[in-house]
Every structure is written in C-alpha cells, then in structure tokens.
Structure 1
C-alpha cells in the first residue's frame, strides 16, 4: 500500500510538471528533477529504482554524464531484489548511455544482454526498443545488413502489438538514414516523407525536427545547399528549447558542413568550433570525431594541409576507439588526399589501399544484395499476412452464411455456391496480384542495384583516372628533380597504359548495357557516322554525369569534353536550339 502511494505521488508530480503551461522547458525539467530528488530519502526497493530511472531519463539526451550516477545507485538495489525486469531495464539504459557517449561496441554488449532478458520475459515492447538501438549502432559500425534486419524486426513487433503508425516512425526514419549512408537517396527520401507525414498528423515535434534535419543531409549531398541550410536552421530551435545537447552538437557539425560547400569557410569554422567545445563537454566521442574531421576540411580548403592532417588523424583516432567503420572509411580517404597534397606519395598510397579494402567490405555487392533481400522478404511477409487476414474474414462470412442457411434451405445452396465461386475468384486474383507485385519489386530492385553498380563503376573509374593522373604528374615532376629518370618514365608509361586500357571500357559497357539495353544498337541505327569514342561519350551523358566526371573517365581535359560534344552534335545534325542531353536521354 505504501509503495502504491509513492507511485501515485511520482505520477502526480510528473503530470503536474508536464501540464504547467507558460514555463520554460528547462525550468520545468529542473523542477521535475528537484521534486524527484526530494522523494529519494523516503523511498526504497523497486519504487526507489523507478525514481532513479526517471531522473536518468531526464538527463540522457541533455547531459548523459549527470544521469550516470543514478544508474550506479540503482544497480545494488536491483541486485538485491533479484528482479529480471529491472535488471533488463538497467542493462538497456546503460547501453543507451554508453551509446550516447559513442562507445558502440560496449553499448552493444549491454543491449544484447538486455535483449536476452526481455525475450525470456516476453516483453515485446521493450524488445522493440532494444532492437532499434542495436540497429543504430550496427549502422555506425558499418554492419548495414544487420542494421536493416534489426529495424525490420522492430516494425514486425510493432505491428504484432497493434501499435499505431507513430510507434513505427523511428524505425522508418532509421531505415531512411541507413539508405542515405549507402548513397541511395531516392529510397531514403521515400522513408523520410512517410515519417514526416506521420509526425505532422500526430504533432510529433521531436520526430519532425529530426526528420527535416535528415532530409537536409540528403539535400546537401546533391548540392541543394540553401534548402538544406534552411531545414537545419529550422530544426535547431527545437533542440535548443529542449536542451538536447547531443542533437545540438550534431546540428552544429551539419550546418558547418553546408557552409564548407558554400565556400564560407570562416562561418563553417565558427560552427565546427562550437560543436567541438560542446561535444568535448558532454564527452560525445562520435560527434567530437566528426568535428575534428570538419575542421580538417576547413584547413584542407584553406590549403593548410599540415593542420588538416592533424585534425583528420584526431578524427580517425576517435573513430577507431568507437569502431565506427563508416567514419573510419571517410577518414582514410581524407588522410590519403592530404598526404598527396603534402607530396608524401608513399603514405597517400598506403592510406588509399586501406580505404579501398574497407570501402569494399562495407559497400560490397554482397552486402547490398543482402539488404535488398531483407527488405523484399519483409514486404513479401507483410503481403502474406494481409492475405491471411482476408482469408479469415472470408471464412467468417462463410460461417455466418451457413448459420443463416439452416433457416432457409433453398437460399443456402445458392448463397454457398456464390460465396465459394467468389472466394475462388478472389483468391485467384489476389494470388495473381501478389505474383505480379513481387515480380515488379524484384525487377525494380534488380534494376536499382544495376544502376547503382553502374554509377559506382563509373565514379570509381573517374576517381582512378584522377588519382593516376595526379601520380603521373607527380612522377613527371620527380623525374626532373631526381635521378632514376628511366624508372619514372617506365612508371608514366604504365599509368598511361592503365588509363587507356580497353578492358576497363569492356567492363563498363557490360554494366551499362545491363541497365540501358540496346542503347548502342539504337544509337548507331539513328546516327551511323558516330565513332566508338563518341558512343562512350553518349553513354556517359546518358548517365547524367558532370563534365568534370566525363573528363576524368575519358582521360581528357574539360576543353576536350567541349570539343567532343561539339563534334557529336555535328554528327547528330542537332541545331543550336536542340539539347544534346535531351536527345541522348531519349535514345
């Protein structure tokens, strides 16, 4: 009875705090914590543990370090109570705390232990929360297929619990973030739109702020910088009002990154330094590492390569501590580029090798196929569940029909016959629709994969030629200043041979034809005078690549691209008003 009174008192205080209108959010939170602290001396056992947990929850997204002592205080009480549920809750909250600090591997240990206990307890609601956190951590560790599987499990649990759609919004958003990391912005944006619609319908301020921030990240990736900046700045007031320091630190980094792209380096540096100081204060190592990398980008753009290298190495050191493979890959690439600018070709080459191996392991074809298979399996299972539900509804209708037929024998025969025929036709139509839908999804997924594979191949080809050209120029410079000219000349010949290797184009053509079937055949049929090199140029235009990317892939200058385009226009008999891109896209 005494415990019930204390629980009621806690609930009353929380409700009173939440319903106080016109007060600042920070003041309300502080008042709430102060009220809870006054209860601690008169509480014990599970009631006291719940109070410690509630205080910790108030701090976790604002200042995690302040919340940690309350978990430590709860631990011995839970141990004495031998409560499996409270033990699971403690493990989950410790995992969340360690995750906020950025120690992903250690956080995963606690969350997996909590998952086992929730499974034993049959607590599916808490299990869903744990899987969501596991998905977030797996994404940061570069385990993208594992992350997607965890998010899909969350959605299945939510559906089985009969939760409203807003309960699945965080999982849908995390899937969108995962696809954004993988570079599939179209699919990512589709998920963000779903989440934004849910948040607007149910007035979910936090979800709306996070989703718009994530949309801004995708916009920045396609250089829609002002739109991205407006969304970031629009989301920031909510995080400041609710004192979510981790989110503020992340937003500062993101806003600064947009200013770097805008070439406003002083503004960018101001935001990055604010992020660095805040993330240092709250010991958020993941965002702290990103702050160092961003400051490295500023120095790199200012051509202060020594300072850039120091910041990139600080970022890499933190990413390695956290086993954050997604960030490690980016750091290796930036360090390689910086060593190249400093003239240390040997170090540039070593870091580039490590980058290539890690990039392939995270973004490999096998991994992408696994992700596509997981999503397809989820959609298929969901369709099958819908069909099963419809079958149950039909069976219920048939049972009602049989009961009615006891009264009117004549009507029974006709009614049952009609229902049976309708059921068979309906079932046949549903099965056919299911097969058609699955086939469309399979073809769409296969085409999307091939398009991504083609784009990746083209961009890798462009990057390879760019790097080889840089190495060739560096070798030519070294040849003039040092001995061993013959060896450098041999290196230049080798690079020239690799840049002109027809096998590379054969591979590219194979990928291209898999996506754009009969393109070469149709182009030659329409324009029989075009050469092999002009066909290559048309293929790259068809992929909507920039002039710089085309120049790198064809190993020619930007002026060379312009001249090649002019020759192609002439052979295609295009007037000055005709668009070359539109004409090629129509083939």
Structure 2
C-alpha cells in the first residue's frame, strides 16, 4: 500500500512539473504578444473591449492567456480613464485565479481593484468586489470576514434600490452569495431564509442571476434536511440547463448530486457523478479547489463498499490537494492567511503622508493664524466705524423723512378740516336759505288764503301742494349734500345708534352745523319746544349723562 502511495505521489509531481512547464511556455508567448499590444497605446475603445471579450472566451480554454489579456485590458482601460471596465478586468482576473485555487493572487487582485475604486462613487462596482472578497474568505472558513463583506455588498445594493438607482431584482445575486455561505457553513435555516429572499426579489424578465442557480441551492438545502427525493427531482429537472449554459459549473453540480445518492446508499450512481465532476474540473480547469471535497466523498463511498485500497488512495489525494490549496504552509496561501492587506497598507501610507504634511504646516499655521487675527481685528474695527457712520446717517435720514411725513400729514389734515369747515358753512348758508324760503312760502300761503276770493279752491290747493313738494325736495337735496361732505360722521352715527329716526338724524346733522334751536325749529317747521324734546330724546337714545354736552359729543364723532 505504501508503494502505491509513492507511485501516486511521483505521478502527481511529474504531472505538476509538466503543467508548470507548459504554463511558462504559454506565458512567454503571451508576454511577447502583450509587448506587441503595448506598442500601440492608441487602441480604440472597441479594440480594447475585443481584448476583454477574448479574455472572457479563454477563461476555461487557456487560463494563462486569459490572465494576460485581462491584465492588458485593465491597463488599456485605465489609459482611457474607464474605471468601471478597468475594475471589471481585475475582478474577472481574480475569478480566473480563484478557479485555479490561487487564492492569494485572487485576493491581491481584488484589493488592487478596491484601492482603484475607493475614491470613486462606483457603488455597484465596489459591491461586486466586496462580494468576491467574501467568497474568498468563505473558502477558508473565515465566517466573520466572509459575512462582513457579503453583507456589506448587500447593504450597498439595498441603498441603491431605496434610491431607485437599480432594480430590486439586482439584489438576488447578493442574497444568493450569502445563502451559499451559510449552506457551506452548515447553517441550514439561515441559508433557507436568504434563499427565500432571493426568490422574493427574483424576476424572470429582469434578473441578475438565472433561476436554475436558485433551484440548485434549494436542492442542496433539501439534501441537508434529508429531503433527498425532493432534491433529486430538482437536480434532474435543472441538469440540462447547466449542461447547455454552464458546463464548468457541473463540477459542483455533480458533486452535490452525488452526495444525495450517497445519502440514499445508491453508491454506483454516486461514484459515477463524482468521477464526472472530476473530469469536468480537469477539462475546464474549473473549481479545482473543490476537488479535495470530491476525493473525500469518494473515500467515504469506498469505505462503505469496504474497498479500503481505493479509499486510502482517494484520502491521500484529498489531503495533498487540501494542503496545497488551503494549508497555511502552501506558498499559494501563505500570503492570504497572513492577510497581507495592500488596501490597508496603502491607507496607512497615505495617512502617514498626511500626518507628515500636517506636521510641516504646524509652524506655518501659528504665523498664519496671528496674521489672520490681526487682519480680522482691523477688519472688524473698520467695519464698526463704517457701520457707525452708516447707521448714524441712516437714522438722520429716517428722522428727516419722518418729520417731512408728519408735516405733510399735518398739512393734509389742516386742509381737510378747512375744506370741511368751508363746506359746512356752505351747508349752513344753504340751510338758512331754506329757512328763508320756508318763511317766504308761509307768508305766500297766508296772503293767498287772505287774498282774492275769485281764485278757485282747487287751484289754491295745487299751488300749496307744489310748494310742499319743493320744500321736501329742497330738504332731500340738503341731506345729500350733508352726507357727501360729512360721510364719515353720518356712517359713524348710523353704525353706533341705528335706532335714531329720520327726524333724530336731521337734528344731529343740524347740531353738527352749529345751528341754534330756533334756527332748527324754523328750518324743520316745528316749535322750539319740539326741538328741545327731540334733543332730549336723542340724549336718551345715545345714553349720555347730564354732564356731557350734546353738541360737543356730536362734533367729536
């Protein structure tokens, strides 16, 4: 058994040396081709994208060429200041390294991408880098770091959805990454929760991840829950899609499908699927890091068949591969497990430069601050002096304007009073004329009655009615003129004392014109006693006390 082990190890070493020799030859050839590319730095955007597309096409056919082309496209995109595509070249390059289980290289490339986009606002691109970093930490069972970066990527995209900058369906791939991490860590319930979220945001028309990937994870979770028949149904249903669309992913697909058959003790089917997975990995040079798990499962399978020789062979291969890919003694992973973090180192270097620059400025800052204080003091004093004179001038101007306005107002009031007095005098004169007219009409009536008897009685009454009508219209005309001149007085007295009769209003108007009781009686055709009675009635309606003079009160309105 030890001899078989030695042959197997020697065979592996020869194979590895041959592969390395071929890789060196390929690298040299593509280095020469890259020099040819470098001679023409004025490549168009379209030609650079062709280089990138060629690198994508060669990912599983010729990984060395793919790495060189990704690096070249990255440099050319940077020359064009196309940061998004430059970073994408790095993330794709990182995936190629990850497929080859060269995680230290993958890790360093991702940190280079993160440094490049750190000062930008490319949130989607940054979240993609975080997502890939989380996956690398997950390979090494660094649960805390893996989930930190995966959830940071998810949070960025949730914020973008909230800001309506991306569709909610874009969240699917980030929920899916966390689902696979929890499933690989054996946390089935948490994996199921995040898978449910993936289905919640999934959209057939607008999706960032194909549905068969979700179904694949669903089958794996069913298998962990011992729902093996349900898992098998899903594997059989989605198998054709992976064969057509994602043949390199069949390494994982066949491995987990084989696990279900192993659980059901259908060992022949399980063994066939594990061997298919290994063949696909060799053909596409894909998911090489996953092969130790497949060999471990083959070991378990052969033990159940009591085939100890094959079990031992597969266990040795699994241990060697595991040490190569994941052991800290492996040159591929020593750098990663030490977490030599270019990003943090770059940040520290920048911080030290800033501190050094700050220290150099400290001496200058004191002088600058003293000069600033002096300039500020002089400026404040100058502003205060200007402000004092400005405010003083403004106050003087305001005071002069107020005096001018007050004088103008006084003149306007004086003119208004004079005009009012003049009009009231005219009204008084008009009232006196009415009195004289009334007296004349009375005398005329007397003479007519005592005059010639030959005048017919009907004609006499007609003349008297005419005189009475003229008298009424004369009073109405007087009232209109009074209201026009003393409108404010008339409105106030009507508003304050609405119960005043027409006769009371006439008395008030005549009092406003400073007419005596005798003049009022003559104008109104009533006795002086009736005028006094009306005045007394008006006082009662106005609720005036005895010590208040009626004339003064009415004139004050």
TM bucket (normalised to shorter chain) is 0.5 to 0.7
CA contact (8 A) 1:209 1:235 kept: yes
Cα distance, 1:87 vs. partner? 2.1
State the Cα deviation string for residues 328-377 of structure 1 (Å, max 9, x = none).
22222222322232333222222221111111011121344411444444
User: Do the aligned partners of residues 217 and 168 (structure 1) sit closer, same or farther apart at CA in structure 2, a change above 3 Å counting?
Assistant: same
- Which deviates the most, 150-159 or 293-302? 293-302
- Which deviates the most, 115-124 or 306-315? 115-124
CA contact (8 A) 1:170 1:207 kept: no
User: Do the aligned partners of residues 246 and 370 (structure 1) sit closer, same or farther apart at CA in structure 2, a change above 3 Å counting?
Assistant: same
CA contact (8 A) 1:105 1:323 kept: no
Partner SS, residue 365 of structure 1:
coil
Instruction: Provide the C-alpha distance between the structure 2 equivalents of 1:211 and 1:178, rounded to a whole number of angstroms.
Output: 15
Instruction: Provide the C-alpha distance between the structure 1 equivalents of 2:303 and 2:97, rounded to a whole number of angstroms.
Output: 32
| 2:173 corresponds to | 210
| 1:575 corresponds to | none
User: Do the aligned partners of residues 388 and 179 (structure 1) sit closer, same or farther apart at CA in structure 2, a change above 3 Å counting?
Assistant: same
**Aligned partner (choices 86, 99, 103) of residue 127 of structure 1:** 86
Instruction: Provide the C-alpha distance between the structure 2 equivalents of 1:248 and 1:171, rounded to a whole number of angstroms.
Output: 23
| 1:253 corresponds to | 216
State the Cα deviation string for residues 262-319 of structure 1 (Å, max 9, x = none).
000111112222331111222x122223222222111111111111111111111001
**Aligned partner (choices 371, 380, 397) of residue 345 of structure 2:** 380
| 2:283 corresponds to | 321
- Is 2:270 aligned against 1:305? no
**Aligned partner (choices 229, 234, 238) of residue 192 of structure 2:** 229
State the Cα deviation string for residues 125-159 of structure 1 (Å, max 9, x = none).
43221111111221121111011101100011112
User: Do the aligned partners of residues 231 and 401 (structure 1) sit closer, same or farther apart at CA in structure 2, a change above 3 Å counting?
Assistant: same
CA contact (8 A) 1:320 1:328 kept: no
Instruction: Provide the C-alpha distance between the structure 2 equivalents of 1:351 and 1:335, rounded to a whole number of angstroms.
Output: 7
CA contact (8 A) 1:103 1:321 kept: no
CA contact (8 A) 1:217 1:254 kept: yes
CA contact (8 A) 2:169 2:203 kept: no
User: Do the aligned partners of residues 246 and 214 (structure 1) sit closer, same or farther apart at CA in structure 2, a change above 3 Å counting?
Assistant: closer
Cα distance, 1:387 vs. partner? 4.7
Instruction: Provide the C-alpha distance between the structure 2 equivalents of 1:376 and 1:121, rounded to a whole number of angstroms.
Output: 28
State the Cα deviation string for residues 184-226 of structure 1 (Å, max 9, x = none).
1121111122222222222253553222222222322343323
Partner SS, residue 226 of structure 2:
coil
Instruction: Provide the C-alpha distance between the structure 1 equivalents of 2:173 and 2:209, rounded to a whole number of angstroms.
Output: 12
CA contact (8 A) 2:58 2:65 kept: yes
Report the structure number with the largest CA radius of gyration: 2
| 1:345 corresponds to | 308
CA contact (8 A) 1:276 1:292 kept: no
| 2:226 corresponds to | 263
User: Do the aligned partners of residues 395 and 93 (structure 1) sit closer, same or farther apart at CA in structure 2, a change above 3 Å counting?
Assistant: farther
Instruction: Provide the C-alpha distance between the structure 1 equivalents of 2:199 and 2:356, rounded to a whole number of angstroms.
Output: 49
- Is 2:125 aligned against 1:149? no
**Aligned partner (choices 194, 197, 221) of residue 152 of structure 2:** 194
Matches within 5 A, 1:51-450: 83-97=43-57, 99=59, 107-118=66-77, 123-160=82-119, 162-203=120-161, 204=166, 205=168, 208-236=171-199, 238-242=201-205, 244=207, 247-282=210-245, 284-324=246-286, 325-366=288-329, 367-389=332-354, 402-403=367-368, 405-406=370-371
State the Cα deviation string for residues 466-525 of structure 1 (Å, max 9, x = none).
xxxxxxxxxxxxxxxxxxxxxxxxxxxxxxxxxxxxxxxxxxxxxxxxxxxxxxxxxxxx
Instruction: Provide the C-alpha distance between the structure 1 equivalents of 2:224 and 2:68, rounded to a whole number of angstroms.
Output: 38
Matches within 5 A, 1:455-466: none
Instruction: Provide the C-alpha distance between the structure 2 equivalents of 1:236 and 1:294, rounded to a whole number of angstroms.
Output: 21
Matches within 5 A, 1:499-518: none
Instruction: Provide the C-alpha distance between the structure 2 equivalents of 1:290 and 1:407, rounded to a whole number of angstroms.
Output: 69
Partner SS, residue 141 of structure 2:
coil
CA contact (8 A) 2:328 2:337 kept: no
In the superposition, the TM-score normalised over structure 2's length comes to 0.53
CA contact (8 A) 1:275 1:288 kept: no
Instruction: Provide the C-alpha distance between the structure 2 equivalents of 1:258 and 1:408, rounded to a whole number of angstroms.
Output: 70
Instruction: Provide the C-alpha distance between the structure 2 equivalents of 1:300 and 1:179, rounded to a whole number of angstroms.
Output: 29
Cα distance, 1:410 vs. partner? 11
Partner SS, residue 136 of structure 1:
helix
Cα distance, 1:123 vs. partner? 4.7
In the superposition, the TM-score normalised over structure 1's length comes to 0.50
Matches within 5 A, 1:7-46: none
Instruction: Provide the C-alpha distance between the structure 1 equivalents of 2:170 and 2:109, rounded to a whole number of angstroms.
Output: 20
Cα distance, 1:321 vs. partner? 1.3
Gaps of 5+ in 2: 1-40, 378-557
Cα distance, 1:235 vs. partner? 0.8
